[in-house]
Amino acid sequence: MNINYPQNILNFTPFQKLSREIQKAMKGLPVFVCPFCNLMQTNDSYFNHVRCFDCNRDLCSACSVDRAPIIAHGNHYHRIGCSDYQPLYLKVNKLIKKNMIGKNVKDVKKHQSHVNTQQVQKNIKNKETFDDQIFSLNDSDYIIQLH
């Protein structure tokens, strides 16, 4: 099924309602909507990657994300809940200081010498070694410690 609508109609409220109803009716069927051009199309293969017929973008049909960042950087760019999603794991190294656990990734880059917080100090006191622990980035790009 290939239904392509002009971009100016996409913001028309009755169309938005109809589009949601169509997508709801087709839930569970091998149909997905390209998030870039809004082309509704079928996915008849057993693979989660498809190429949009209209805009030629390579997409994950399970979570409707562009596969370019996934191919370049890894499966953590899939949406959580997608069968292909895998969290990004970081091995602690010199780039991530002990005092940066719980800080925003941007802050890690800006403030590598930031003063330890009480929570971090408590965590470090309870651990004999720090360099062998594994950390991950959560959805908000915060460094979190995996238990």
What is the average per-residue pLDDT within 10-35? 76
Confidence bin at 8 (pLDDT 50/70/90):
low
- Domain shared by 23 and 43, yes or no: yes
The domain total for the chain is: 2
Which residue, of 77, 97, 118, is where some domain finishes?
77
Q: What's the CA dihedral at 28, 31, 37, 38 to 10 degrees?
A: -50
Domain of 109 in residue numbering reads as 89-145
Confidence bin at 73 (pLDDT 50/70/90):
confident
Residue linked to tokens 């562009």: 66
Whether the predicted pLDDT of 125 surpasses 80: no
